[in-house]
Structure 1
Amino acid sequence: MTTTTPDVLAEIDRRTDELIRLTTDLVGFDTTVRGDAREPARDEADLQEYLAARLRAAGATVDVFTPKPGDLPDSPQTPPGLGFDGRPQLVARFAGTGGGRSLLFNGHIDVVSAEPRREWSSDPFRAEVRAGRLYGRGTCDMKGGIAAAVIAAETLAALGVRLPGDLLINTATDEEWNGAGTLASVGYGVRADSAIVPEPTDLDVVTAQRGILGGTLTVAGRPGHAEYPPGDWRTGGAVNAIEKTLPVLAALQRLRERWADDPAHSHPLLPPPSLVPTTIHGGEWWVTYPSSCEVGLDITYLPVQADAGGWASRVRHDIEQAVREACAADGWLTAHPPRFVWDTELPPAEVDSAHPLVGAVTASATALGRTPRLLGEPSWTDAATLTRIGSTPAVCLGPTATRPDGSPTLHTIDEYIEVTDLVDTAKALALAALALTAPAPASVPAV
């Protein structure tokens, strides 16, 4: 008997309780993202082995691997020598019959901190359904999306659907930090003709996203007793580093405003580039002129601002130039220019709206009665790594991430996912797999 699309959708409906249980099980593993390279692993290995056993039982070949520090592709995303002890990656493959295109479902297993846990209405690591919503840390971002991908693949396998092309599932660590897990997976050889990342998108299709650059700006001062006049800095007088930071911050604000007003720095799907001071630390003692002031920066930038390699060298140059110009009128800052240290850098990415991937994913959501929009992601996801570095055009499509008032549910107290959205995500992914693993058309537009 030939399996039809209605058969697939009906089977996923029948598996709703199983989908809820799977999401609940995944939430029960504490996979809170590490804060730095030295932080020990939590339950990442246990979660990956749980998924591996399940996917093998469904007929997939599964590889759970722990990357070595030297296995990552050369990129500025991660610190040198980053290790993965206790944080394995997983790739499962449901083999196609041959002649079709391959499709990858990618999702991150790490979640942001659940603190302060006392403010949750229920245990964040014991998911529970209330009024049609499944509550728990990671339900929305993005263990629910992973569960939907697994159920979609298992449903097709259970119904005996033999896809022409391979269907892969890659679950990765560290997305909430710097995308290291998917980067390591790409280095291991994980790639496909196209990919869907079931991040929460309100069942819209995210085709573009901004890059991210993180850094620290340090402004030097000179200590002295704060209750005495500072004297002339040219003859050894004290200099207040906090006050000297003010014109630098003003220069960064002006640059942000120029970016926002410049038509060359616009995108039809994305917000303007931005430059936000997010942390500040200065001074040593309350009666001492501060000898330094350190400002943390979060910069988001558009694909058009990336350099030829897809990275942020031109953005860094613009920021440093703006600060140099602001310092030119200040003798101290000219003689002691602020110092930049750049760290996290995540690439922007975009998939052409004419690419078959976009059309197929849009059609899969439309078939469920949705009206999917093409959107941009103001922040960042692993879809950028797959697109930019993994030679795998990737878009995001997943469950709703907003409350009725428009505020986000992800990364919040009492994070939740609508059960109906969880089911629709699984359905949309299954329909997309049916379309995207078919043989390629005569010509495929470039990414």
Structure 2
Amino acid sequence: MEERIIEAVEARREDFIRFFRELVQCKSYTKHEQEVAKKLIDGLKARGFDDVGVIERAPGRPNVVAYYRGVEDGPTCTFNGHLDVIPAQDESEWEHQPFDGDIEDGKLYGRGTVDMKSGTFSSFFAGIVLNDLQIPIRGNVMFTGVCDELICGKDGILYLLKEGYIKKTHPDDFGINCEPTNLCEMNVATKGVFRVDIVIIGKGAFNARPYLGISAIDKAAKLIEAIQELHEKISTDPNHVHPLIAPRSVQVAMIDGGEASNVVPDRCKLTVTRRLHPGETTEECMKDYQDIIDRLHEEDPEFQAEIHPWEGFRPPVEVDENAPVVDAVRRALKRVNGTELALTGSEGGTDASHVVAQTGIPMPVFGPGDHLLLGTIYEHVSLDDFIDAIKIYVLSVYYMMGIREAE
């Protein structure tokens, strides 16, 4: 069966590359994923993979979901990827135009090839191969291509979770998030991302008479210094060291204050971004911020501030390194190209964080594409890696769920 899987993918190599190129040519910016969703669905059905459709939170917000059904009861394997891509910035700077889908030296160039059309579509193409070969499995395989991931997933993964499309129904349920790990690493630990706005409240006045006002910007300077001190504290805390991910951090990422050059500013907003380790909570972060505000107010009664958390918190998560899916991918990777799987952590969040945190389904991150090219004008993916990813995903399903002839 391993040989049949590999041969089946190779037999469709040119067709898969052609289909992949067509999908890369779609300008699927966030909120504009309809074209790529339709092209994906039409292409899957044209290749005999019919169990596919769209789930929408609102019209025009497509989440493509496809299934390969097993012949016996068993767990569900959920593949996860997203359809939206980040803006291409100044297209004149690109040697290969971001949506031309140029192929050169075995690489396909374009916006979204790394983040993350290569991973998303290689998983769906794995569904085509499973369907072609009619591989008997226990359980079902679910393929998801969601919208909205780049702006925290309210219409995408969070909706699928909220409505129960993705949920744990079997003790052995598992998944793979297909974000880029260069097809050699697996992220089993991921930092959380928690953002808040802290609004400093002052008192406006004509700035020729500043003594009649309270400058919110001057007060914000004290808060910025305190946030920097908090960063030094949490990033060097010997009791919070993780073997796979960098130290925790907190940073003032944006500042918005003042309305005119001749007015004492009555408000100043700081956007603060916190990167958490597995095991930390938003409540702990909020307490840190409130403690700072309380201390500054005690030192200066004119200091007043309010905290407003952002929606879309990505929780920090960790997957057991000994989870069966980890070994299945390791075995498949070794079989396909002889590479040893390295277990690593991720600095940025993915939709897998929501799945793991809300359902308990182990969903490590493993996919084609060099994450260092993400968002650059040189974004591209090796077509060999794209094809290998399809093989690895099918083999991983077979190793986890396949019914062998001997049985």
Q: Does the pair score TM above 0.5?
A: yes
Task: Check the 8 A contact 1:124/1:135 in 2, yes or no.
Answer: yes
- Number of residue pairs aligned between Structure 1 and Structure 2: 393
Shift of 1:60: 4.1
Q: Does 1:329 align with 2:303?
A: no
CA distance in 2, matches of 1:305, 1:264: 12
Q: Does 1:222 align with 2:197?
A: no
Q: Greater strand share, 1 or 2?
A: 2
Shift of 1:352: 0.8
Task: Give 1:310-349 correspondences, 5 Å limit.
Answer: 312-333=282-303, 337-344=304-311, 345-349=313-317
Task: Check the 8 A contact 1:205/1:362 in 2, yes or no.
Answer: no
Choose 319-328 or 253-262, whichever is displaced more.
319-328
State the partner residue of 1:262.
Answer: 237
Shift of 1:135: 1.0
Q: Does 1:205 align with 2:175?
A: no
Task: Check the 8 A contact 1:91/1:190 in 2, yes or no.
Answer: no
Shift of 1:194: 0.8
Task: Give 1:82-161 correspondences, 5 Å limit.
Answer: 84-161=58-135
Percent identical residues: 27
Q: Does 1:251 align with 2:251?
A: no
C-alpha distance 341-304 of structure 1, shift in aligned 2 (>3 A)? same
The letter for the 1-side match of 2:94 is W
Task: Check the 8 A contact 1:222/1:239 in 2, yes or no.
Answer: yes
Shift of 1:322: 2.4
The letter for the 1-side match of 2:361 is T
Give 4+ residue runs of structure 1 displaced > 4 Å after superposition. none
State the partner residue of 2:359.
Answer: 390
Choose 54-63 or 19-28, whichever is displaced more.
54-63
SS in structure 2 opposite 1:293?
Answer: strand
Task: Check the 8 A contact 1:27/1:139 in 2, yes or no.
Answer: yes
CA distance in 1, matches of 2:325, 2:296: 46
SS in structure 2 opposite 1:251?
Answer: helix
CA distance in 2, matches of 1:288, 1:338: 20
Shift of 1:425: 1.5
Shift of 1:427: 1.7
State the partner residue of 1:354.
Answer: 322
CA distance in 1, matches of 2:138, 2:230: 51
Task: Check the 8 A contact 2:257/2:268 in 1, yes or no.
Answer: yes
SS in structure 1 opposite 2:252?
Answer: strand
1:8 pairs with 5, 8, 19, which one?
5
Task: Check the 8 A contact 1:101/1:438 in 2, yes or no.
Answer: no
CA deviations on 1:121-163 (whole Å, 9 max, x unpaired) are 2331221112222111110111111221122221232234223
SS in structure 2 opposite 1:255?
Answer: helix
Task: Check the 8 A contact 2:149/2:351 in 1, yes or no.
Answer: yes
CA distance in 1, matches of 2:55, 2:75: 25
Where do 5+ consecutive residues of structure 2 fail to align?
A: none
The letter for the 1-side match of 2:106 is G
Task: Check the 8 A contact 1:104/1:191 in 2, yes or no.
Answer: no
Task: Check the 8 A contact 1:95/1:166 in 2, yes or no.
Answer: yes
State the partner residue of 2:400.
Answer: 436
SS in structure 2 opposite 1:388?
Answer: helix
C-alpha distance 89-390 of structure 1, shift in aligned 2 (>3 A)? farther
State the partner residue of 1:381.
Answer: 350
1:53 pairs with 24, 36, 42, which one?
42
SS in structure 1 opposite 2:302?
Answer: helix
Shift of 1:229: 5.5
Give the aligned CA root-mean-square deviation in angstroms.
2.0
Shift of 1:188: 3.9
| TM-score normalized by the length of structure 2 | 0.90
C-alpha distance 58-197 of structure 1, shift in aligned 2 (>3 A)? farther
Task: Check the 8 A contact 2:278/2:318 in 1, yes or no.
Answer: yes
